[in-house]
Amino acid sequence: MTFVVEVDVRVPMRDGIALATNVWRLEGPGPFPVLLVRTPYGKDDAGTYGNPKLPDVFAFVEAGYAVVAQDVRGTSRSPGPFVPHANEGRDGTDTLAWLAGQPWCDGAVGMWGGSYMGFAQWQAAVHGGPALRAIAPVMTSADPYAAPWYSPGGALSQDAVLTWGTLSALRNLRRSPAGGHGDPGDAHALLSGLSEPRLLHDPLPVADRGAVTRHLPWVGQVLDHPERDTFWQEVASIDHCGDITVPALHIGGWYDVFIGETVRSYTMMRRHGGSAAARDGQRLLIGPWCHADGADLGTFPDRSFGLHSGIKSAEVTGAHLRFFDRWVRGLTDAPDDAHQVRIFVMGVDRWRDEVDWPLPDTRYTDFFLAGGGRANTAGGDGVLTPDAVSVEAADTFLYDPRRPVPSLGGTVLAAASGAFPGPADQAAVETREDVLCFTTPVLEHPVEVTGHVTLVLYVSSSAPDTDFTGKLVDVHPDGRAILLCEASSAPATARHSPILSPCSRERSTS
């Protein structure tokens, strides 16, 4: 295979800014269908092409696609200020129009990429024009408020905002010396926060992060908009499903920070997509993975899901090629995934094809939090039962902000925060008096929990503002309490979070 690489091609935007773009294509005049990735992490970074969560670009080129990688506005070699989410719709639309006009492009374009690269896809899909034929968002969200910056319940995702914001501010600061300005003190503050997470997360008030907001003012805007107001609605592609006419290949991980929004994007597009192709062409692939780099093998310190659970076993590149051949190339006779959904079933630890999501044979079952009012710690009297509670009891706990309950595992955005991602053992925090535990009896038969879990709490608090975290955990015979899913929200709100696992015993903590 012989291919041509053009580096730093300047693609003009409507306001005169020209974005740095690389083009990989087979030698020869073409024309070729195009696969586009727009990234804030550097189009020249090998991680853009070698990250195992992303498909193999060499396989794309060998299959006859031109691969185009672009630095989004204000990042790496592209000029202008970087304001997350603000320009991806317009700049994506302009880039698609430019591609369609190139002699080596046959007029059909697909988009791919994970995390922020997925944000860029969703926003371009709302306004993308006729050249865009399909998107493949990986571990991302069509509603940035709901994930990762806040949550459906309105709780600030402090780790996500501050860790990612600090990394982005540091990248902006590194661009500053070229312009003759920059503050070495800010560089030290930013690097210190990344190397010692307590310096980043512990100081109060949360908004007092001068080095971060100086070099990425958007972080201050996030903190100024705790409600899902117009600031967030303007970048929420999920609110415009009827304007999105292209199919999507959704890829997520059960322990990814975006998993709730990954499945919501799929179900919303299945119901409300703007064309028959968009509704029928949705595909969903979910494995036992989390967002942090290197955590895509299905192996975690407290739980391993087997050698075949890794993202390579899921044949992500093959799934992309089958999807793009069908929807970008328009090869209606090309082999396509026979089922809409492919999921890894934790517990039995194997892959399974399904016809849709939620699973058509889903049965929703109510469980109730019960006990005598002393559910504090795993040794308390809290009970999780399918029987309606006839006697009301109030469980209480004292929250001390000087001694907060630490996060163990879960849907952590990045390992840079120092946090431990994934299915961690919760036994250590379940010994605390400020953690309420409600546990089922030992299950006599295997139970599969596959789908959306909602926890409804009736609470009162003496604090002026309170967030609550709910967890569903799998209690093993050896005492390990392995996290299945979790969510944080304001009082009296419901959080939908997909999980999947047979359990030996179930416990809900709050």
Distance (Å, whole) CA 472 – CA 510: 9
Q: In which residue are the tokens 């739980």 written?
A: 303
Q: Please provide residue 73's backbone torsions phi and psi, each rounded to the nearest 5 degrees.
A: -50, 130
Given 85, 127, 215, 291, which residue is catalytic?
291
Beta bridge partners of 469: 488
The confidence score (pLDDT) of residue 185 equals 84
Instruction: Check pLDDT > 70 for residue 49.
Output: no
Contact 408, 424 (CB under 8 A): yes
Average pLDDT over residues 187-205: 86
Query: Model confidence over 330-353: pLDDT tens digits?
Result: 998 866 666 899 999 999 999 999
Q: Where is average pLDDT lowest: 111-115, 189-193, 267-271, 327-331?
A: 189-193
Distance (Å, whole) CA 266 – CA 143: 12
Per-residue confidence band for 176, with pLDDT thresholds at 50, 70 and 90: low
DSSP string, 414-481: -GGG-PPPBS-B-TTGGGSTT-BEEEPPPPSS-EEEEEEE--------SSSS--EEEEEEEE-TTS-E
Distance (Å, whole) CA 266 – CA 263: 5
The confidence score (pLDDT) of residue 504 equals 33
- Of the two residues 443 and 415, the one the predictor is more confident about is 443
Domains and CATH numbers, the chain: 3-146+232-354 (3.40.50.1820), 157-225 (no CATH), 368-509 (2.60.120.260)
The confidence score (pLDDT) of residue 393 equals 86
Distance (Å, whole) CA 131 – CA 35: 11
Rg of the chain over all Cα atoms, to the nearest angstrom: 23
Q: Please provide residue 136's backbone torsions phi and psi, each rounded to the nearest 5 degrees.
A: -135, 75
Query: Model confidence over 248-257: pLDDT tens digits?
Result: 999 999 999 9
The confidence score (pLDDT) of residue 292 equals 74
Beta bridge partners of 498: 452
Within 101-225, residue ranges assigned H as helices are 116-127, 158-175, 184-195, 197-201, 210-215, 218-224
Average pLDDT over residues 252-276: 95
Query: Is 256 annotated in the active site?
Result: yes
Per-residue confidence band for 407, with pLDDT thresholds at 50, 70 and 90: confident
Q: What SS3 class is residue 27?
A: coil
Within 65-146, residue ranges assigned H as helices are 88-100, 116-127
The confidence score (pLDDT) of residue 502 equals 32
The confidence score (pLDDT) of residue 509 equals 56
Contact 155, 145 (CB under 8 A): no
The confidence score (pLDDT) of residue 401 equals 79
Given 91, 256, 325, 395, which residue is catalytic?
256
Distance (Å, whole) CA 418 – CA 192: 12
Query: Is 434 annotated in the active site?
Result: no
Per-residue confidence band for 16, with pLDDT thresholds at 50, 70 and 90: very high
The confidence score (pLDDT) of residue 181 equals 53
Query: Model confidence over 120-134: pLDDT tens digits?
Result: 999 999 998 899 999
The confidence score (pLDDT) of residue 334 equals 67
Q: Where is average pLDDT lowest: 129-133, 387-391, 468-472?
A: 387-391
The total of other beta-carbon atoms located within 10 Å of residue 312's CB is: 12
Distance (Å, whole) CA 200 – CA 192: 8
Q: Where is average pLDDT lowest: 5-19, 289-303, 421-435?
A: 289-303
Given 76, 115, 407, 417, which residue is catalytic?
115
Q: Which amino acid is at 456?
A: V
The confidence score (pLDDT) of residue 174 equals 84
Query: Is 400 annotated in the active site?
Result: no
Instruction: Check pLDDT > 90 for residue 137.
Output: yes
Per-residue confidence band for 494, with pLDDT thresholds at 50, 70 and 90: very low
Q: Please provide residue 237's backbone torsions phi and psi, each rounded to the nearest 5 degrees.
A: -65, -25
